[in-house]
Every structure is written in C-alpha cells, then in structure tokens.
Structure 1
Amino acid sequence: MSAFKKVLLPVAAIAVVVGGAAYWFMKGGPIDSSSPAASAEVVPDEALMATFIASDAKGWDQLQQFGTPEAQKFVGQGVQSFQASLLKGSQLNYDKDLKPWVGNVMVAVLPSASESTQQSDTLLVVGIKDKVRALAFANQAKSQPGVQTQESDYKGIKISATTQKDQPNSTIYSAVLSDRLVLANKKVTVEQAVDTFKGAPSFADKSGAARLMATGVDVENPIAQIYLPNYGTSVKQLIANSPQASQIPPQSMQQLDQVESLVVGVGVDDSGLRVKAKAKAKPQATAMQYKPVPGKVVAAFPTDTIALVTGQGLKAAWTTMVEQAQNVPQSQIVVDTVRQQLQAVNLDADKEVFGWMDGEFGLGAIALNQGVLSSVGFGGVLVLETSDRATAEATLTKLDAIAQKNFMQVAQRSVDGKTITEWKLPQQESVLGHGWLNQNSLFIAVGSPLIDGMTAPAKQPLDQSAAFKTVTSSLAKPNAGYFYLDMDKIMAVMNTSLLKTQTSSITPETTAMLNSIRGLGITVTQPDKTTAQVEMLLALKPKALSLK
C-alpha cells in the first residue's frame, strides 16, 4: 500500500478502494453506469476472485442518512486526512482532479505471473467517467515534482510506468483500455489485461463468474460485490500464496472443494447496511441438513436481552460433526475432548447431553442491575426444547449431584406453580437455576433475578420489542435462527458495569461509530438443496434519531 501512496497516477483507484466506505458521510458520490461484467472484460479469466465497488451515488447517499454527528465528524476528518496523505507533496486536489472522472472499481486477484514468488498479483480496473478530465489528471500527475514516467508499447497499447524518484521500487504500471484504466505493480499484470482486452479469455467469459455476475445477490443499492466462481480452488491458492496465512489441513481442504462458488453483496437500504453471501455446493457434495426454525423460543426471552443466538437441532449438529470428524483429525480431537470431559463426570455426550437436544434452542445474555452479577451487568439464559424430557431430567439430576459434591447447595422451590432447582454457594444467593417452562421447554439461568424472571411469561417478550423487530424483521424467513445484538443495551452495560474499565481503551472515534449502530442481525437460509445464504443487517440509526 505504501508504494501506491507514493505514486500519483493510481491515486484514484486507491482512493475509491480504500476510502470507499468513508463516503458514508460525504456528499455527492460519483456516478458511473459500468457493470461488473464490463469491468471484468479486461480481467484475465485465471483471476481467483474479483471485488466490484460501485460508485453510484444512490447507495452512498443512502448511507449518509445514518449516523450520529460525532461519527460523521470523525469519518469526515478521516477522509480528509486520507486524501491529504495520498496527495501530499503535490498540487493536486481530490475533489477537483480525481473525483470527476473516477468511476466504478474492480479489484481482481490473480495467480502470480512470476516463478520467483507465489504471492498473488493484484489488478485494479477503474472506470473512466470523463476521458478529458482523466487525461488532464494524467498530464498533471506527470508534471508533479519527483515523479518519473516512462512509456512503452505493448500490442498497440501504451503502458505507462510511473515511479517516485525517492522510491525506485514503487513503480506502478497503467494503461487505458477504452473507458477503463488498469493499474498494477507489475508490468506483466497490465500486459495480461491488455491481452484480455485484445480477445484473450476474460473473467467475464468464465462460466461460473459470468453466472455470478448475472445473478449476484439481491440487495438494494449495491455498493460492493465479491465473486469467487471456483471457491475451493481460489481459497486454497490464496492461502498458498499468503506467507502469513495458516496452512489448512488436507482434510479441511477437501471440505472446501465441496463449495462450488461464493458471491457476496453489500447494499444500503432504509434499515442500514445489509450483506448477503450466497454459497453454492457442488452437485456431488454432501447434502446440507437444513430445517427452518419456528422461532417460538425468542418469546421466552425478555426485552432486556442484549445478545441472542437461536437455532434448532443441536443433536443433529453433533451427529453431523461426529460423522465428519472421522475424516478430519482436528475435528476428531474436538469430539474426543468433549466426550472425555463429560465422561469424567459420568455423562455420555452422545446420549445424555446432545441426544435429547432435538428441538429449538436459544442462548441469550440479559442485562442485570441486581444480584451478584450486577457488577458484570448481565447474566445468561439457555432455553432448550426436547421431545425426550425423561432423558433431559435424568441428565439434570446428575448435574445437580455433581454440583452438591463441589460445595454447592442444591435445593428446589416453587415459583408461580413451577418447580425450580437452584444452585447456591454457602451464604450467598443462587447463581444458577433450572426448570421447565412447559412440557417440552427447559431453561437454565445464570443470575438470581433471571431464575425468577424465567418462571413466568415475559411481560415484555423480546420478539415484541421494537429493537428486535428493527434488526430482524427484514431478514429472510423462514430461516435457521438468529444471531442478534442490541448495541444500545450493550453500550449501556459497558458504561455501567465492571466492563467500563475496558471501554477506556476504546477510542472516541470507535465509540462514536458504535453509538451509530442500533443492532446486528444475522440469519441463514437455504433457497434450494445446494445453496446456502447468509444475510447480515447492521441496523444503523437515522440522523434524526441520532440527534435526539
């Protein structure tokens, strides 16, 4: 990156790629009509992946409707500082000299063209909205002090090599291909782009890539899209080409090969920033086990819930993990460790623990301002549905006996007609309790106030709260469950509990950003037997709400 910063010619691409998200609070984003396929026409077909960043004003303008004044201020300052650092030492101005002609950007990762290194090559394709402005910028860049430019011809296309005199190893190569500017730090990479422009197979022609770019993912006002047409092959090669990456075992590599392709889309709508990732499995891959979750368990949690994970079928998940572990040594170690740890307390992991967890489940963190956990600020609740209550109760009886042997006082009491079993430390309040919400639903609560609170239907159930609805109502349904965060409540807990000491290390800029977030919601769906889709919504606060 430092080499790019020193060179003036590719500043436009870098400004868009690295600083793209900063347009969140900036006015007047650039407009360009080129599509991902148009940019991909000059990307060689051997590209491992490609990222398309749209400069359409609509998406960026939509982002401007969110955020607190503090966040807007910090981001604005960051953008200005970033632009100033890129243009330091020149007489160029970002808004005047770059913004008017820079269009959409595609960043493609290619296998190394050099035998001396395995590190992947990067090709940037920048759409040119205004050729006259772009030419004027190029001429200005050449005339800047300390910049050296050499030109060469390759198949009738002029390739420029731009070098900062005090950085002889920072040469950037570029060429104009119709209405696109291509840039790379290797000449051979630009030559490959020229070959593609002249008719060699392109990423746009690649069957898998063409399909991904044609269908994509359904997000409003898309601002970025990522394409991996040969997912397993690409990931393996990217890992092999990255010296810092941890090597993946062969067995895990085999699992990667089961995924045919991946496409990710980032868009902006009335709720905030939305990300959808769609993975397609190969026809011969192991069939995905998917069963939509009813979502009833959410109603068992109160509106004070700050974080929640829901799903269904822990038994099936454990069974699948056990089966797959037979071919993956690392997974087998995990399975064996779990079994051994539970066997040490006379529990059979397969039968007495996971064997009866065949229904819906929910694990939540709930805000607390009373009891021994008030200093932490939250407690926890686990709700499990089962069709085998007898086995579940037998397991709980064993756990109660283990607690008694470890200096816990275990006693039962009746609350609102329900029998609750509590664990207490001597001379202290209950730290854990469990009981049945109904015939098939078990709860385990950590934190004395939560034990009593779970025995009666929540006066304000989470699924009826405005916060939960705001974050999850627009996520795809039916689905496999939710991952949910209420950022307002999380920040309140951090500011009033022992965790406050940790927040002192958070910068004002980060705090401002967090305060602009309402919450986070993630879910998984399966549109068809070979396709899985992950959807994430970063729900943001509108300006009007942030000002209150």
Structure 2
Amino acid sequence: MKSLIKQGTTAIIGLLLFSTPAYSEHSTNNQNSKSNSNYLTNVTPNVIGKSVIETTDQYLPLKQNLKQKNILVQVKPNNSPDTLTNTTTPKLKSNQSSLFTAANAAKILPADTALFGYVNTSSPDWEDMGRFQLFRLLGQVISTSLVFLPSQYTNYASYLQPWIGDHVVFAFLPKSEDKLSSINSSFLTLAAVKDEQALQGIIDKFKRSVTNIKEQEYKGIQILEIDTSQGRPSLTQRSRLNFLQLRSSKTSLKKKPKINSQKQTLAIAVVPGYVTVATSVQPIKQLIDSSVSQGNTDNLFDNPNFQPAMSHPLANKAMFGMYQNPIEYVNLLESFIKDPRLSFPPESMELLNTNIRQIREQIKPYNSTNSFITIQPEGLRFQVVAHRKKALTASQVKLANIPEEKILSSIPAATYSAFTGKNINQTWQIISRLFATQPKAADSLEEFRNFFRSNTGLDFEKDIINWMDGEYAFFFYPTKGGFLSSVNPNLSSTSSNLNLGIGLSFQTSNRKAVSNTLDKLNEFIQTVSKNEVTVSNSTIKGNSVTSWESQSPTDPSAYSLLAYSWLDDDTVMITTGKGAIADLVPQPYVSLPSAYNFKTATNSFPHPNQGYFYMNMGSVLSWAYGFVPAEFNSPYFQTFKQGIGSIYSISSSSSTTAEREQFDTLIVLAPVRKELNQFEKVKN
C-alpha cells in the first residue's frame, strides 16, 4: 500500500510538471520525436544551461533568508560540467523525519498562510494499512487501474521518485490586501527535492521540448509558465481509432459552448530544496516575495499558532496533516466567491455571503485548527483540533462535557445507529442568536415558530425545547414490535417487516414541564384525529407506559403509533409504539455500553466528552440486505459488499478542554482475511 501511495504521489507531481496539453504540444511540433511512452525513459538526465540558483545581488536576499532558515541547499555552479552527479545531493540526516522536512517548508511560507497541509509518505501508517481488508481490496483496485494509466505517466513516476522527498506540502497563501484572490492565485504545491540538479536536468529538457512555454526571472528565481489552454491531449493508437470511428458515425454531436475561455496556465519554479507548482505565477511570486521582503523574517514556522500543529502527538506519524488559520481562510473564501469567472447568481451570492458571516461568528473564539489522519490498531482515525484564543474556566469545561453518560444505558446493544449529546436547549439558543443576526434567517425562524404554534397549540421554545437541558439520545434499533412492524416494503421475501424501531430518550431537570407538554400532545392527537387515535395507559415490566393507539383498516385490533414511559425520575423514553418500547423498559436486556463493538469504537476517544455518533455497520448492512432482491447479485455488487462489509463500525465524538475543542472519527476495520487453501475450501 505504501508503494502505491508513493507512486501515486510522484505520479501527481509528474502530471503537474509534464501536463498532457504541454506534452501534446511537444508531440505536435516534433514529428521525429520518440513515442510518448519512451520519452522519459530515453532521456539522459543532463544539466544544460545555468544552475537553479544564481548568486547575483538581486538574488542575494532570498539566498541569505533561506540560509538563515537552514533550508538552503547547495547546487552546481554555472560552470559545472554537463554530467549530473550525486556528490552534492542534499541528504536528510538519519534522525530527521519527513515531518521535520515538511515543517521546514513552513519556513518559506508567509506567517499568515491560510492553509498548510502535508502528505507524509514515509509514515509507518502506510504499512499498517495493509493489515486491513478494506485497504487490501482498494490496493488491488488501484493496482488494476494503474494498468490503464498512459505509459508516459508511469514512466514519469519511476523517473521522479528518486529525487522527490517523502512529503508533499500544499498551501493556500493569504489574500493580498489590494486585490481579489482566486484558487489559481493563492494555491500552490511544494515537493521536497532530494536531488535538485536532477530536477533541473528534467526541467531543461522539458523547456527545449515545449513551444507554448514562457520563462521569466523574478527576484533571482526562474519561473516557467506553460499555456495549457491551447494544448490538445495526444491520443494513443486505440483512442485515435475510437475517435475516428466516432467521427465517421452517423451520430451527430452538438458542440457545447465554452463556459470559461480564461487562459489556463501551469507555473513551475525551483526554490532551494523544493519544486513548487501552481496554476498561475501569482502564488509563486507571492511565495518569493514573502522570502525576500525587506527586513521581514516572519514566516509560518515561527508563528506561535502554527506550533501546536507540529508538536501534536499525532503529527509525526500522521499520513496527512493540516493547519488552518481560520480568519485568513475565511477571508480567502470570501474573495473566492467574488471571482467573476464563477458567475454566481445574485440569490446564491447572498446565501454564500450569509454563510460566511455566520462562519466568521463561529470561528471568533479560535486562532487555529489542526487535522490529522492516522492508523491505529482498530482502524482509520480522523482528528480535528481547534485551539482557543482564551481558555475556558473549569466550570465551563464541566458544563460542556457529559460526566456520567447515563443515557447510554437506555440504548440496546444491538442498535443500528445512535446519536447522543447534551443540552439541546443551550444548542437551540446558540442557533437562535445566530439566526437573529441575519434578517432572512430570522424571518424563516419566526415563520417556523408560528407554524408550530398554529398546528399544535404549543410554543416550540417554552413547551418543547425549554426542558431539554440534560443528556439525550436518538437511535434506531431492531424490534418486531411497534408501529413500523406493520410496514412491509415487499422488497424481499425474507423480510416480513421493517424490523426497525426509533427511540428518543431525554434527561431533564424539570419533569413537571415535560409531563405538561406530553399531556398537551395527548389532547392534541385526539382532537385532530377526532378520537380515532386514543390514549391508553398500561404497565410493561412494572413500568407505566402511555400509548397512542388506532384501529387498522384491515385489522380490528388496535395498534400503537407512539409510546412513552419514564425510566427514572428524570429520564423519559419515547418510541414508535408500545411493542417497540417493550424491548427498552425498564432497561434493555443488554445495553449499548456493554457491547464489544461499541467499546471498540469509542474507547480511544477522550473522556468525558460531549456525546457520540455510532453506527454498527454489520447490523445496518444485515438489515439493508434484507430488502435487496435476490436476483440483484452482480459481481460488482458482490465486490461492493466485500468492501463495505469490512467496515465494522463508524463512530465520532467531540470533547472540550480549557484550551481546545476536539473532534474525532474512527472507522473500525476488519483485518485481512486469511486466504483458504484448496484443502480448506473443500473441507468447508
């Protein structure tokens, strides 16, 4: 798996450096050139012309600045012989990790860089991925797909790998104060270079092979700008034959008008230790400017808000890591949507601007966010950390998290999926305040309140939300009872009913308010149904249960639409019928915290936390396959089942400390399955 990722990463760099349009331009203008597939394999890596770095007075500030940052790499002088050697190739010391090299890239980026991300192909996690069945299957698919990749691209990958480092950095540079920014003018990629002279040899060959290329020097750095809007991809022999057959057929294809005729370019430059690629020269120039600015030594690496991203325990082993400056990132988004080439309609612009204003309010308490993707023994882990500007007090942290997680004991272990949390009332107040700042959103919220009041006779905030101040749970679980048991989709002969119940459990500090609301709802359902729905009380396993019951048109016996019961003094359970609640009172036979799958999915999350999202994929898939027609059994579907069936569970949780908010997601995966030999297959 690691080799596939490594090859894929270098192939992407190859595609950027040697784009199809530029390559086809070479093919068009050089009829005597060799075939595309052998182009690079027959090139000898010789350096012709001047070196990457010229020691001129104009270049000196950049050279000195990079030297101060310990990232200046020596290269061959202008009078060096034409043949490449590896004697001056910069080597990482054995104790230098690729993360350290990735962090070094931050030393040439502006301090207020909006986004900094890296892919670490030397992480041991790439090897660990091979332990899981899902990635074994994906690896087989990727290996098969590489066969169909044009041969010149795979040659590029093998040719680039020796001089590309073990990480690739990508960044969104900050918005310029006096002009709008677009993705093209702010995004660039940096790839660490182990052999800068070999890279320059390739670039020199490339410059001589392509005609639609413009070369410029900016503050001592050579920038190549390739016009990719005019090039046409070269066709393989089979593709050319298919194209000619299509053109000669009777089918007439209407030519679509060009939506965007803007000039498309690819810019490449080499700075010491890195090759940088962008879709325009602007971000490369901005990168150079930030390195040679007069007396300005500010850079991203020295930004205090950036340090937690590199010192995080997961950073050194993460396959992928990312840092965001929230304010600068939102500034970029705001500028992106104003790009005239996007041509958003006025109503969409208004909605986007509203969303951005809301995001600005939400990110005010934070000065940075970090994200990581890693492998742990259970499977694939995603983590996002938002660092606060001002620390919370101990009482604020205690209020934010759930100390006891009592509500989990009301959920059955066989639950398909569950979502738990705390204090819906507080969450609703935050949402209401946010809506109140936007006129249209405020109007929509008021319309909803009026609609709810006119149709139920209840005040949504006072009668419903107000008492939801404790833990809550919303879950789907298997049951043969309840209202949904009468639903038969008739999709499969093996499924007599949905085998599904829906449960809601709430803790409250105001039981009297809850009882008043439930009494009002009981009166409401009888009134609107003209007493076709009755409210009845019964006892199940010692618990008093209230049920809304109706007569079925085909069955004279009553069936329950909804049922609720108090599990204890402060916890009420509501389900889809009396038969469904019978599986939950006074408590499930086996509760969710006791389930092995749930413990595996959540034990590595921080405790205490703000609740969970949990999906038992085995149970969900088993339930869903019951509605798949027996004849729907194609090889593609079987492959899909193998892949998705190797996911045991998906779970998420958020937690709060004084200094940060943290969000975690874990995908628990099945280990690689043992291949049965011929004897075992016969035996089974």
What's the TM-score bracket when you normalise by the shorter of the two chains?
0.7 to 0.9
Structure 2 vs 1, CA of residues 420 and 92 (structure 1 numbering), >3 Å: closer, same or farther?
closer
Task: Return the alpha-carbon distance in structure 1 between the equivalents of residues 383 and 205 of structure 2.
Answer: 41
Using the TM superposition, give the Cα deviation of residue 115 of structure 1 relative to its aligned residue in structure 2, in angstroms.
7.8
Checking the alignment, whether the CA contact within 8 Å between 1:123 and 1:183 is kept in structure 2 is: yes
The answer for the alignment partner of 1:51 in structure 2 is 117
Structure 2 vs 1, CA of residues 470 and 332 (structure 1 numbering), >3 Å: closer, same or farther?
same
Structure 2 residue 237 is matched with structure 1 residue 237: no
The answer for the alignment partner of 2:225 in structure 1 is 161
Structure 2 vs 1, CA of residues 285 and 70 (structure 1 numbering), >3 Å: closer, same or farther?
closer
Task: Return the alpha-carbon distance in structure 1 between the equivalents of residues 476 and 437 of structure 2.
Answer: 35
Task: Return the alpha-carbon distance in structure 1 between the equivalents of residues 622 and 575 of structure 2.
Answer: 22
Structure 2 vs 1, CA of residues 35 and 519 (structure 1 numbering), >3 Å: closer, same or farther?
farther
Checking the alignment, whether the CA contact within 8 Å between 2:392 and 2:657 is kept in structure 1 is: no
Structure 2 residue 149 is matched with structure 1 residue 99: no
Checking the alignment, whether the CA contact within 8 Å between 2:468 and 2:508 is kept in structure 1 is: yes
Structure 2 vs 1, CA of residues 348 and 97 (structure 1 numbering), >3 Å: closer, same or farther?
same
Deviations 1:369-421 (A, max 9, x none): 56225644522101111222222112111112222222323212111111111
Using the TM superposition, give the Cα deviation of residue 256 of structure 1 relative to its aligned residue in structure 2, in angstroms.
3.7
Using the TM superposition, give the Cα deviation of residue 464 of structure 1 relative to its aligned residue in structure 2, in angstroms.
0.8
Task: Return the alpha-carbon distance in structure 2 between the equivalents of residues 126 and 409 of structure 1.
Answer: 70
The answer for the alignment partner of 1:25 in structure 2 is none
Structure 2 residue 173 is matched with structure 1 residue 110: yes
Structure 2 residue 527 is matched with structure 1 residue 402: no
Task: Return the alpha-carbon distance in structure 1 between the equivalents of residues 596 and 612 of structure 2.
Answer: 16
Q: 1:226 aligns with which of 322, 328, 336?
A: 322
The answer for the alignment partner of 1:379 in structure 2 is 501
Opposite residue 153 of structure 1, the aligned amino acid is E
The answer for the alignment partner of 1:20 in structure 2 is none
The answer for the alignment partner of 1:311 in structure 2 is 421
SS at match of 2:590: coil
Deviations 1:434-479 (A, max 9, x none): 1111222110011554221011322221111111111111111110
Structure 2 vs 1, CA of residues 164 and 214 (structure 1 numbering), >3 Å: closer, same or farther?
closer
Structure 2 vs 1, CA of residues 33 and 398 (structure 1 numbering), >3 Å: closer, same or farther?
closer
Structure 2 residue 469 is matched with structure 1 residue 358: yes
SS at match of 2:404: coil
Mean Cα deviation higher: 463-472 or 200-209: 200-209
Opposite residue 316 of structure 1, the aligned amino acid is Q
Checking the alignment, whether the CA contact within 8 Å between 1:225 and 1:263 is kept in structure 2 is: yes
The answer for the alignment partner of 1:15 in structure 2 is none
SS at match of 1:315: helix
The answer for the alignment partner of 2:188 in structure 1 is 123
Structure 2 residue 391 is matched with structure 1 residue 266: no
SS at match of 2:582: helix
Checking the alignment, whether the CA contact within 8 Å between 1:321 and 1:331 is kept in structure 2 is: no
Q: 1:542 aligns with which of 671, 675, 680?
A: 671
The answer for the alignment partner of 2:546 in structure 1 is 421
Task: Return the alpha-carbon distance in structure 2 between the equivalents of residues 408 and 546 of structure 1.
Answer: 58
Structure 2 residue 654 is matched with structure 1 residue 527: no
Q: 1:180 aligns with which of 274, 282, 286?
A: 274
Checking the alignment, whether the CA contact within 8 Å between 1:305 and 1:366 is kept in structure 2 is: yes
Using the TM superposition, give the Cα deviation of residue 425 of structure 1 relative to its aligned residue in structure 2, in angstroms.
2.8
Task: Return the alpha-carbon distance in structure 2 between the equivalents of residues 515 and 466 of structure 1.
Answer: 18
Checking the alignment, whether the CA contact within 8 Å between 2:402 and 2:609 is kept in structure 1 is: yes
SS at match of 2:382: strand
SS at match of 2:416: strand
Checking the alignment, whether the CA contact within 8 Å between 2:225 and 2:280 is kept in structure 1 is: no
Structure 2 vs 1, CA of residues 437 and 460 (structure 1 numbering), >3 Å: closer, same or farther?
same
Q: TM-score w.r.t. structure 1 length?
A: 0.82
Using the TM superposition, give the Cα deviation of residue 101 of structure 1 relative to its aligned residue in structure 2, in angstroms.
3.0
Q: 2:352 aligns with which of 240, 247, 257?
A: 247
Task: Return the alpha-carbon distance in structure 2 between the equivalents of residues 6 and 220 of structure 1.
Answer: 28
Task: Return the alpha-carbon distance in structure 1 between the equivalents of residues 650 and 177 of structure 2.
Answer: 43
Mean Cα deviation higher: 534-543 or 38-47: 38-47
Q: 2:605 aligns with which of 475, 479, 485?
A: 475
SS at match of 1:458: coil
Deviations 1:159-215 (A, max 9, x none): 333456952955422222222111112223223323344466564256255334343
Greater radius of gyration (CA): 2
The answer for the alignment partner of 2:286 in structure 1 is 192
Task: Return the alpha-carbon distance in structure 2 between the equivalents of residues 375 and 316 of structure 1.
Answer: 38
Task: Return the alpha-carbon distance in structure 1 between the equivalents of residues 425 and 177 of structure 2.
Answer: 50
SS at match of 2:306: helix
Checking the alignment, whether the CA contact within 8 Å between 1:495 and 1:503 is kept in structure 2 is: no
Structure 2 vs 1, CA of residues 8 and 464 (structure 1 numbering), >3 Å: closer, same or farther?
same
Task: Return the alpha-carbon distance in structure 2 between the equivalents of residues 384 and 456 of structure 1.
Answer: 15
Structure 2 residue 306 is matched with structure 1 residue 210: yes
Structure 2 unaligned regions, length at least 5: 1-11, 21-96, 233-262, 488-495, 553-557, 677-683
Structure 2 vs 1, CA of residues 96 and 468 (structure 1 numbering), >3 Å: closer, same or farther?
same
Using the TM superposition, give the Cα deviation of residue 312 of structure 1 relative to its aligned residue in structure 2, in angstroms.
1.6
Task: Return the alpha-carbon distance in structure 2 between the equivalents of residues 8 and 158 of structure 1.
Answer: 15
Using the TM superposition, give the Cα deviation of residue 366 of structure 1 relative to its aligned residue in structure 2, in angstroms.
1.0
The answer for the alignment partner of 2:235 in structure 1 is none
Checking the alignment, whether the CA contact within 8 Å between 1:359 and 1:385 is kept in structure 2 is: yes
Task: Return the alpha-carbon distance in structure 2 between the equivalents of residues 114 and 327 of structure 1.
Answer: 27
Checking the alignment, whether the CA contact within 8 Å between 2:133 and 2:673 is kept in structure 1 is: no
Structure 2 vs 1, CA of residues 210 and 333 (structure 1 numbering), >3 Å: closer, same or farther?
same
SS at match of 2:352: coil
Using the TM superposition, give the Cα deviation of residue 224 of structure 1 relative to its aligned residue in structure 2, in angstroms.
1.4
Structure 2 vs 1, CA of residues 510 and 102 (structure 1 numbering), >3 Å: closer, same or farther?
farther
Checking the alignment, whether the CA contact within 8 Å between 1:203 and 1:209 is kept in structure 2 is: no
Name the Cα RMSD after superposition: 3.7
Deviations 1:29-80 (A, max 9, x none): xx84544321122323453212222122412112222234544433443455
